[in-house]
């Protein structure tokens, strides 16, 4: 099985892929940025955390599905791959995973991962090149000069003579217009006042009708208790359910939305499934059930491993 090919395939769709016994490959998004007058498109860079060495089922299920093998065989092959990488590091001091990067030990004997530079994991920005910023040249338009226009002498008109000819008819027209405006204004003032008086009288009458109607409603619905009623008190006892400290874990998920799907799936099968929080690696844990008695928990664990999930385990902790 080509385990590193499956790791690479999952990294295109997920931000974290844990390889049991080895560690976790983590994709981190880098936003678009400007460096040395170049615009760099957004991208994802891969890093490695050797503390994330407990599988969450993502890689195991993927390998089992595409290699058409059982979950146990997929898990065994992943562990074998991790051990092979470690053995090669001891003997060769460096391991190259094609398409992922290189593992090696530094001077302090710590495991270091150097990702492959030319590998792009961010599909949304795949193929976007970097480009250089260039200043924009601003062109200034020259203002057009205007030249005075000469008017022939025969076209010049004596304005004073024109004003004298038209002053008498215009003044007469203005007198009649002023008289008409005064008459229209007086009519408008009196008409407006009459209209306002009628509207106010109508509103006052309607308001009085509304007040009388409200008063009748109040009189019909008003009543007096001869004796005051005693207050009703109810005591509710809330009993906190004690699930016990023995929990059969059915899965640990990096994505929180998968928790609700798993709980619903197990509850439909009759299990008292629930969410018990995150583990030390930040993975969300779902249990088949919790028990107060250790013997009962081990008995149910044996049945679940035989019939439901061979990867289930017993987690002991007071929650």
Question: Strands across the sheet with 94-97, in order?
Answer: 94-97, 101-105, 111-115
Tokens of 261: 């799907």
- Report the Cα 96 to chain-centroid distance in Å: 37
Looking at residue 291, its pLDDT comes to: 92
Any idea which residue has 């008459």 for tokens? Answer: 183
- The C-alpha angle with vertex 24 and arms to 19 and 30, in degrees rounded to 5, equals 140
Domains of the chain: 3-132 (no CATH), 246-316 (3.30.70.1070)
Residue 250 has pLDDT above 80, yes or no: yes
What would the mean pLDDT of 280-284 be, rounded to a whole number?
85
* Residue whose C-alpha is closest to residue 56's, from 280, 273, 247: 280
For the chain, the C-alpha Rg in angstroms (whole number) is 44
pLDDT digits (tens, 9 = 90+) for 195-246: 556 656 666 676 677 666 666 655 554 444 445 555 555 555 545 567 889 9
CA distance 241 to 252: 23
**93-102, 179-188, 248-257: which has the minimum mean pLDDT?**
179-188
Q: What is the mean pLDDT of the chain?
A: 75
Q: Which of 37-41, 48-52, 198-202, 264-268 has the highest average model confidence (pLDDT)?
A: 264-268
Q: How far is CA 297 from the centre of its chain?
A: 40
Of 5, 23, 20, the closest CA to residue 110 belongs to 23
Average pLDDT over residues 14-18: 90
Per-residue pLDDT band for 61 (boundaries 50, 70, 90) equals very high
- Whether 74 contacts 52, CB under 8 Å: no
Burial call 117-137: b when 16+ CB within 10 Å, e when fewer: eebebbeeeeeeeeeeeeeee
**Pairwise pLDDT comparison (39 vs 76), residue with the higher score:** 76
Which pLDDT belongs to residue 146? 53
Place of tokens 């860079």: 45
């Amino acid at each position: 099985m080509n385990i590193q090919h499956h790791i690479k395939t999952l990294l295109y769709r997920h931000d974290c892929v844990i390889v049991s016994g080895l560690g976790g490959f983590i994709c981190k998004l880098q936003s678009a940025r400007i460096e040395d007058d170049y615009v760099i498109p957004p991208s994802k860079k891969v890093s490695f955390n050797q503390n994330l060495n407990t599988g969450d089922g993502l890689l195991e299920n993927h390998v089992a599905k595409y290699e058409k093998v059982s979950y146990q065989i997929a898990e065994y092959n992943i562990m074998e791959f991790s051990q092979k990488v470690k053995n090669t590091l001891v003997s060769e001091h460096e391991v190259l995973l094609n398409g992922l990067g290189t593992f090696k030990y530094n001077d302090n004997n710590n495991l270091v991962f150097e990702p492959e530079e030319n590998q792009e994991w961010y599909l949304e920005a795949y193929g976007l090149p970097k480009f250089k910023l260039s200043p924009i040249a601003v062109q200034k338009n020259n203002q057009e000069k205007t030249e005075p226009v000469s008017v022939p002498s025969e076209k010049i008109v004596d304005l004073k003579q024109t004003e004298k000819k038209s002053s008498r008819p215009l003044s007469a027209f203005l007198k009649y217009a002023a008289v008409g405006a005064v008459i229209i204004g007086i009519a408008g003032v009196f008409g407006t006042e009459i209209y306002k008086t009628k509207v106010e009288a109508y509103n006052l009458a309607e308001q009085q009708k509304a007040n009388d109607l409200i008063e009748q409603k109040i009189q019909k619905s008003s009543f007096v208790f001869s004796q005051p009623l005693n207050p009703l008190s109810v005591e509710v006892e809330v009993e906190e359910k004690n699930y016990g400290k023995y929990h059969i874990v059915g899965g640990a998920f990096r994505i929180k939305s998968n928790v609700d799907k798993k709980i619903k799936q197990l509850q439909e099968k009759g299990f008292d499934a629930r969410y018990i929080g995150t583990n030390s690696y930040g993975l969300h844990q779902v249990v088949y059930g919790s028990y107060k008695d250790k013997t009962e928990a081990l008995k149910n664990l044996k049945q679940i491993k035989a019939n439901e999930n061979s990867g289930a385990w017993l987690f002991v902790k007071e929650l």
